[in-house]
Amino acid sequence: MDDVDLLVHGDFLYPVSDGMPIVAGGEVAIADTRILYAGPRKPDGSWRAGRVVGGAGKAILPGFVNAHCHTASLIFRSQTDDHAARSALFDVAFRMEKDVSDEEWALLAELGCADMLRAGVTAINDIWYAPHRLAETVERCGLRAQIANKVFDVRLEALRDGDYAHDAARGERRLRDGVDFVARWHGAAAGRITGRIGAHATDTCAPELHRAARVEATRLGVGLHIHAAQSLGETEQIRAAHGCGPLEYLRDLGVLGPDVVLAHLTYATDADLDAVRETGARYAHCPTIYPRRGRYPRLEDILARDIVAGFGTDWMMNDPFEGMRNAMNAMRLRLGDPSALDCARALWMHTMGAARVIGLDAEIGSLEPGKKADLILVDIDRPHLQPYYGAYAALVYYARASEVVTSVIDGQIVLEDGRPTRLDEPAARAAVAGRTPDWRRRLEMLGSRAVFGPGCACCL
């Protein structure tokens, strides 16, 4: 009989490890922060456990890894979803972001972290404002996180008018803030929190700022996190200024490498994708945002080049199950091939694949002895999941984020009965509700889609 701190039982175990199939009647034994055993359930009496969770009607799988997100971005939820991509960013988001205070970002980050935990996300790679406030919440709530300050040297609110004037002093300040954040938080919370340098996008940083960000990331031993080929405006701006695509541009600057996470690649050309492959940079694919914007990246061409790729949520829609379905459906429709991306590969891309993108695949992403104990329990005893045969499709195509009932990170239960254990979520919801009327007024003035319909201000 072996002593363990936590024993997790389930009707089905999805290890997402090489060569290990789905296990009917599985268990995971955890000692301290690590997995001691993951496999078929052993006879009673094999373990002396401090606590046992799960059981009948539950599926065990690795926690979802979110390779690219903006945890506090939920301030824009429902206010840009009917906009064209350019309008959503340039007309609304960029003009609103500058007037949101650190206190407001902290409040939004708290509710955003609760949203991540409820969705089964156990690790995030975030680039946004007020990173120190997000880190404080992450430290408290138990999430695993890589965090970067959003570094840029243009006036984002002026991009809608084509004003790409670069201000070196602005860029230096934001880069210094990012460096200071990494110096303070990298390795915090017993290693759960790490830092990155976040050069916002190819067109919002001058070449000198991109190079400086690369130098600092190398000096600090952390990676870069960059939006690239996200919008048509960005790609046109880079081509006009530098005569090449955004990824060719970053390669030629000496920025790209295996420690770089690139989000989106929506408008990447073949030459751009070749630049990513040549340099070993990693790709964060965010399936739920692309259909809303009406343009889907060429994921099939990215995978064909063996570019390391995994899934993220981007902003506001943090349901990994929805993301996996979006990715599969999009590829199948694009290629006219129902086998283009199967359920097992989709689950891998939101666990091991995403962990590989952010450089943590040796520690998380699958349920194997020696790895960090980051896992979730999904309640499969729901009408819309019955009969539950246990195949990957049973989980990936039919489950929802709301079925995640337990999350374990570093061997600690951080979500129980579907509720975060270390956050006062009701208080955070109430605080956000209290700010919502003011945010709605401010957003409507910027041209967002008003909640009550175009031109209707009477209810505000």
What was the pLDDT predicted at 190? 97
The lowest-confidence range among 81-85, 235-239, 408-412 is 81-85
Structure tokens at 45: 């009496």
pLDDT in tens, 250-280: 999 999 999 999 999 999 999 999 999 999 9
The per-residue pLDDT for range 366-397, each reduced to its tens digit, is 999 999 999 999 999 999 999 999 999 999 99
- pLDDT bin (cut points 50, 70, 90) of residue 455 is very low
Instruction: Name the least confident of 126-135, 388-397, 436-445.
Output: 436-445
Across 76-90, 184-198, 281-295, 337-351, least confident range:
76-90
Query: For residue 459, what pLDDT is reported?
Result: 44
pLDDT for position 78: 86
Three-state DSSP class for residue 297: coil
Confirm if 195 and 146 have CB atoms less than 8 A apart.
yes
CATH number for domain 2-62+368-420, candidates 2.30.40.10, 3.60.15.10, 3.40.50.10090, 3.30.160.110 = 2.30.40.10
Per-residue pLDDT, 85: 63
Using a pLDDT cut of 70, give the percent of the chain over it. Answer: 97
* Between 92 and 189, residue with greater pLDDT: 189
User: Distance between CA atoms of 320 and 115, rounded to whole angstroms?
Assistant: 11
> What Rg value do the Cα atoms of the chain yield, rounded?
22
Read off the amino acid at residue 8: V
Q: What percent of the chain has pLDDT over 90?
A: 90
**In this predicted structure, which of 81-85, 227-231, 399-403 has the lowest mean pLDDT?**
81-85
The answer to whether the beta carbons of residues 48 and 56 sit under 8 Å apart is no
* Coil, strand or helix at 369: coil
pLDDT of residue 92: 87
At 330, the pLDDT band (50, 70, 90 cuts) reads very high
Average pLDDT over residues 195-216: 98
Q: Is 103 within 8 Å of 157 (Cβ atoms)?
A: no
Query: Average pLDDT of the chain?
Result: 95
Q: What secondary structure, in 3-state letters, does 98-167 show? A: CCCCHHHHHHHHHHHHHHHHHCCEEEEEEEECCHHHHHHHHHHHCCEEEEEEEECCCCHHHHHHCCCCCC
Q: How far apart are CA 131 and CA 147, in angstroms?
A: 7
Q: Is 377 helix (H, G, I), strand (E, B) or coil?
A: strand
User: Can you tell me the distance from the alpha carbon of 180 to that of 202, in angstroms, rounded to the nearest whole number?
Assistant: 22
343-to-201, 302, 352, 401 alpha-carbon distances in Å: 32, 18, 14, 16
Residue 457 has pLDDT above 50, yes or no: no
Q: How confident is the model at residue 458 (pLDDT cuts 50, 70, 90)?
A: very low
- CATH code matching the domain that covers 64-357, chosen among 3.20.10.10, 3.40.30.10, 3.20.20.140, 3.40.710.10: 3.20.20.140
8 Å CB contact between 127 and 196: yes
Give the per-residue pLDDT at 334. 93
pLDDT in tens, 7-24: 999 999 999 998 889 999
- Domain layout of the chain by residue ranges: 2-62+368-420, 64-357
With bands split at pLDDT 50, 70 and 90, how would you rate the model's confidence at 316?
Answer: confident
Chain-centroid distance, C-alpha 96: 22
**Model's pTM, two decimal places?**
0.96
Peptide bond into 258 cis (omega under 30): no
HSE (CB half, 13 Å, CA atoms) of 259? 19
Chain segment 53-98, per-residue pLDDT in tens: 999 999 999 999 999 999 999 999 988 887 766 778 888 899 999 9
